[in-house]
Amino acid sequence: MANRLSKIVTRTGDDGTTGLASGDRIAKNQTRVAALGDVDELNSALGVLLAETLPADARDALLGVQHDLFDLGGELSLPGHALISTAHLARIEDLVTHFNSALPPLKEFVLPGGSRAAALAHVARTICRRAERTLVELMMQENPQQQTQLQVQYLNRLSDLLFVLARSLNHSLSQSGGNGDVLWQQGRNRG
């Protein structure tokens, strides 16, 4: 691989613009740049989660997702370039099924928490939802393209995976005496 980032300080963004992979420069406050930032933040949150001790299947799944998110960022940086496909969606759905299969049925809403790893998965899930909302905004501003719809679908499936993964992490810890899911108690603090 060639040196892609040999010069880090370029000063080209000092005027409030950023460069896309296409060579175009756009304002940093445009929705496309916000979407890129949300996807980058999500990937960073997953990096923090991956710094925790995790089961091997969870680690493998999250590492795969990190690569997907770089692909998605590449698509956002080069409009019209397609890397995310229906195969990505199918893989995420299979992971949801895998991690959900060992969980007890959900009878109440789950509060973010339990274990640190599960709480970090919930943080990543909420960032994922924001990234999804930003992509929907981008899709509405531009002509809805099939690729943007796949991006939105991918993030929608990914937020499901992160929710199930958080539950799975709590469940595996509760089996060994650790914290399980924290269930919402409606009206708990009502006098």
pLDDT in tens, 103-113: 988 887 887 88
Q: Which of 8-22, 72-86, 118-132 has the lowest mean pLDDT?
A: 8-22
Considering 22-36, 88-102, 105-119, the range whose residues carry the highest mean pLDDT is: 88-102
Give pLDDT, residue 53.
92
Mean pLDDT value across the chain? 86
Specify the CATH class of 23-102+109-179 in words: mainly alpha
CA–CA distance, 189 with 184 (Å, rounded to integer): 11
Give pLDDT, residue 42.
98
Give the dihedral of Cα atoms 86, 92, 94, 98; nearest 10 deg. Answer: 180
Q: How many CB atoms lie within 10 A of CB 56?
A: 7
* pLDDT bucket at 167, cuts 50 / 70 / 90: very high
Average pLDDT over residues 49-53: 96
Q: For the purposes of burial, counting CB atoms within 10 Å of the CB of 174, is it exposed (0-12), middle (13-18) or buried (19 or more)?
A: middle
pLDDT at 68 over 70: yes
Q: For the purposes of burial, counting CB atoms within 10 Å of the CB of 10, is it exposed (0-12), middle (13-18) or buried (19 or more)?
A: exposed
Give pLDDT, residue 2.
47
Task: Specify which residues 18 forms β-bridges with.
Answer: 26
User: Which residue ranges make up each domain of the chain?
Assistant: 23-102+109-179
**Which residues does 66 contact at the CB level (< 8 Å), separation at least 6?**
43, 46, 47, 50
* pLDDT bucket at 1, cuts 50 / 70 / 90: very low
Average pLDDT over residues 44-50: 98
Average pLDDT over residues 95-120: 89
